[in-house]
Amino acid sequence: MARLLVLRSAPYHRSSLSAAAAATSSRSASFPRLSRRHLPSLLRVPVRAVESSSGATKQEEAPLAAGEAQEPLPAAPAFVVEELGWGTQLAVKLKMLVAPPWKRVRKGSVLTMTLRGEISDQLKTRFSSGLSLPQICENFEKAAYDPRISGIYLHIEPLSCGWGKAEEIRRHIVDFKKSGKFVVGYMPVGGEKEYYLASACAELYAPPSAYVALYGLTIQQTFLRGVLEKVGVQPEIQRIGRYKSAGDQLGRKSMSNEVKEMLGALLDNIYGNWLDTVSSTHGKKKEEIEEFVNSGVYQVERLKKEGWITDLLYDDQVMTMLKERVGQNDKKSLRMIDYSKYSRVRKSTLGIGGGGDLIAVIRASGSITRTRSGLSVSSSGIIAEQLIKKIRTVRESEKYKAVILRIDSPGGDALASDLMWREIRLLAESKPVVASMSDVAASGGYYMAMAAPVIVAEKLTLTGSIGVITGKFILQKLYERIDFNKEILSRGRYAELNAADQRLLRPDEAELFEKSAQNAYASFRDKAAMSRSMSIDQMETVAQGRVWSGQDAASRGLVDSLGGFSQALAIAKQRAKIPQDKKVRLVEISKASPTLPEILSGIGGSILGVDRVVKGVLQDVTSLNGVQARMDGILFERLENMPGENQLFLLVKEITNYFG
C-alpha cells in the first residue's frame, strides 16, 4: 500500500539579523501589557512624553508582562515531513472515494496554475475572478502530499503583484520540491519578477519566440503639477515628513532629493535581493549575474545556452514530455486539474486539516476608508467600521487562542487607521496578536500593524511611511478662464477653509491648515513610538514619511521578524503556549460571501461593459478631503502594461476624482 506523507509547513526565518536588529527584536517583540489604569491614556491624542529624572525625554510605557521581553522568536526549518498513521491513511482514501464530483481528482493528475496579473491577499469566493495568494499557497501545500497529484505545471506570465507576494510564492515552490514531486515552469513572457519565481522551478521552459527581457529594474514617478497649472488648478498640499511622497504627483514638478534617496534605497534592496537569489540558484557569483544582465539579454536562445532556462519548447511539447513522465503515453491528452477546481479540495480531505486550538486570521487588504462608499463592493478595500466589528467579535470570543492580522495596504484615511489601531490594541490585551505584512503595509497599513505585539514582514515588504498628507485644490484661475463664479456666505473665522476653492487661502487659514496636518503627524509618530517601545526622538529618525523595505525596517526596530504567513503562525503558537508540532485550525474571520455583482462578474466577465481596471481605479482613488495616511504609487503601478490610450483615460479619471 502506498504511503502518504504529510509535509507540515514550518515558518521561514532569517538566519540572522544585524546586531542592532537583534537588540531591537528582543525589545519590541513584546507588547506593553495595559491595565485598566492605562486605558484612559490611549484616548489622549497625541500620546504624551514625560521627563525622566535625567531631564531626557522618554516615551511613557506600560509595564511588560513578566518574561516576555526575553523570549526569542521561534525559528524552524521550512518543511517537516511526517508519515501519516495507517488510520489516517485509511480515512483519507475513504474521503477521496466519497468526494463530490466537483472535488474529485483523478490519480496521476498534474496540477496546472497560471500566475498572471493581480494577486489578491484575500480569499476569493468561487464566483470571484482573479488569483488569491492564500489559495495559491494552499494549493502548493495540498499538492505536495496529495497522492493523486504527480506534479505541478506552472505557467508564469507578467505579474502585477509586489515583491512580498512573489517571495511568498517562491518559498512555496521551493518547499513543494522537497516532496519529491516535479514542478515544471513555463514562461512565454516575463521580466525580473517573473524570472524570480520561475527560477525556483526544477525545470523552466519557454517557447522559441518568448519575450523574456532581463534589463534591470526601475522605479518611476509621474508629476502633474505643470499640467494642472496650465488648466488653472493650484494644488494646496500639506505633506508632513521629509520623505512623504504621496501628493508629489500633484504638488511637484520633479522628484525631491529625499524621495530620490528613499526610492534609491528601495531599488537597491530589491535589485540586490534579486541578484543574490538568482546567483544562488545558478551557483554563480553575484557579479557574474549582474554582468550578464548588463550585457543586454533579449535572445531567449542565449538564456538557454547560459543555463537560465532548461530548454526551448512550445506548450504542447512540454505537455507531451509530462505525459511520458507520468506514464500517460496511451492517453490522448495530459491528465490535468486547474487552479480553480483544485482550490475546492479541502485540506481535511487529505488528512492535513487543522484541529484542536483555533487561531483567528483577520485579513485587511486594500485602501483604508472609514465607511463604505457608493462605489464599494465587498472586496474594495479595508472599511474600518466593518473590520472593527470583526475585531470585536474575536476579542469577545474565548474560543480563539491567538490572532494573525494579515495586512496588505498602502494606507488611506488617517482617522479610520487610528480607530482600527485602538481596537487592535484592545484585542492584544485579551489574546496574542501577530501582524503579518504582505506586499505593503505602509502609512495607514503600518498604523494598523504597529498595534500588534509582534510584526512579521517579508524582506521586500514596503513598510513604514509614518507620515500624513492633506490638501485641497484652488480653482481660482480655472474659474476665471471659463467665466465661472462661486460665492459663499459663512459664519466663523475658518468656516470656508475646506469649502472655498475659488480663492487662495488667507495666511491664517494656511497656518491652521498646516497645524492640523502637523498635529495628525505627531499623533501617528507618537503612537508608533509607544507601540514600538521607542522614544519619540528614536521614532522620528525612522518616521518622516519614509518607506522602508522589510529587511531595513527590521534593522531599525519597525519589524520584529522576517518571513511569511507561516512565520507569523509559529510566533502566534509560541505566544499562545501551543507546541510548534501541534496542529491548529485557522479560522478565516474576514472571508466574504459572494455578492451579486461578483457572481455576475464571475459568470459574464464584466458588468454592463465596465472595464475591471477602471472600476478598480474608481474605488481606490481617494479625494484629498481629510487627513490621509497613505503611501504613493499604487495607482500608477497599474499603468505599466496598459496601452497609451487607456493610460490617458485613467489619468483623466484620476484628476476628475480628485476634483470631485
The predicted-structure confidence for 408-462, as pLDDT tens digits, reads as follows 999 999 999 999 999 999 999 999 999 999 999 999 999 999 999 999 999 999 9
Positions in the chain short of pLDDT 70? 1-70, 75-89, 102, 126-128, 373-380, 591-625, 632-660
Residue 558 lies in a domain: yes
Q: What is the mean pLDDT of the chain?
A: 79
Query: Is residue 190 domain-shared with residue 334, that is, in the same domain?
Result: yes
Residue 77 lies in a domain: no
What is the model's pLDDT at position 640? Answer: 38
Query: For residue 189, what are the β-bridge partners?
Result: 211
Residue 220's CB is within 10 A of a number of other CB atoms, namely 11
What is the model's pLDDT at position 205? Answer: 98
Residue 329's CB is within 10 A of a number of other CB atoms, namely 8
Residue 204's CB is within 10 A of a number of other CB atoms, namely 23
**Residue 593 annotated as catalytic:** no
**Residue 527 annotated as catalytic:** no
For 333, which DSSP code? S
Q: Which of 590, 616, 642 is the last residue of a domain?
A: 590
Residue 282 lies in a domain: no
Residue 328's CB is within 10 A of a number of other CB atoms, namely 18
Query: Is residue 533 domain-shared with residue 568, that is, in the same domain?
Result: yes
Query: Is residue 469 domain-shared with residue 331, that is, in the same domain?
Result: no
Query: Is residue 433 domain-shared with residue 514, that is, in the same domain?
Result: yes
Residues 547 and 535: beta-carbon distance below 8 Å: no
**Active-site entry in 193, 244, 323, 472:** 244
Query: Is residue 444 domain-shared with residue 317, that is, in the same domain?
Result: no
Query: Is residue 159 domain-shared with residue 210, that is, in the same domain?
Result: yes
Q: Kindly report the pTM of this predicted structure.
A: 0.81
Residue 447, all three cell numbers: 498604523
Residue 499 lies in a domain: yes
Query: Is residue 375 domain-shared with residue 310, that is, in the same domain?
Result: no
Residue 493 lies in a domain: yes
What is the model's pLDDT at position 461? Answer: 95
Query: Is residue 337 domain-shared with residue 399, that is, in the same domain?
Result: no
Query: For residue 609, what are the β-bridge partners?
Result: none
The rounded distance, in Å, linking the Cα atoms of 169 and 339 is: 14
Query: Is residue 364 domain-shared with residue 343, that is, in the same domain?
Result: no
The rounded distance, in Å, linking the Cα atoms of 375 and 657 is: 12
Residue 226's CB is within 10 A of a number of other CB atoms, namely 10
Query: Is residue 316 domain-shared with residue 336, that is, in the same domain?
Result: yes
Q: Which of 590, 609, 641 is the last residue of a domain?
A: 590
For 312, which DSSP code? E
Residue 639 lies in a domain: no
**Active-site entry in 25, 179, 380, 443:** 443
Query: Is residue 319 domain-shared with residue 419, that is, in the same domain?
Result: no
The rounded distance, in Å, linking the Cα atoms of 311 and 326 is: 19
Q: Count how many domains the chain has.
A: 2
User: Whats the size of the chain, residue-wise?
Assistant: 660
Q: What range defines the domain where residue 308 resides?
A: 86-215+296-348
- Look at residue 132 and give its three-state secondary structure: strand
What is the model's pLDDT at position 592? Answer: 57
What is the model's pLDDT at position 38? Answer: 35
What is the model's pLDDT at position 608? Answer: 37
- Closest Cα partner for 547 from 268, 267, 262? 262
Residue 168 lies in a domain: yes
DSSP string, 504-525: PPPHHHHHHHHHHHHHHHHHHH
Q: Which of 528, 558, 590 is the last residue of a domain?
A: 590
CATH code, domain with 327: 3.90.226.10
Question: In which element (H, E) is residue 252 found?
Answer: none
The 3-class secondary structure across 416-482, one letter per residue, is HHHHHHHHHHHHHHHCCEEEEEEEEEECHHHHHHCCCCEEEECCCCEEECCCEEEEEEECHHHHHHC
Residue 76 lies in a domain: no
Query: Is residue 400 domain-shared with residue 485, that is, in the same domain?
Result: yes
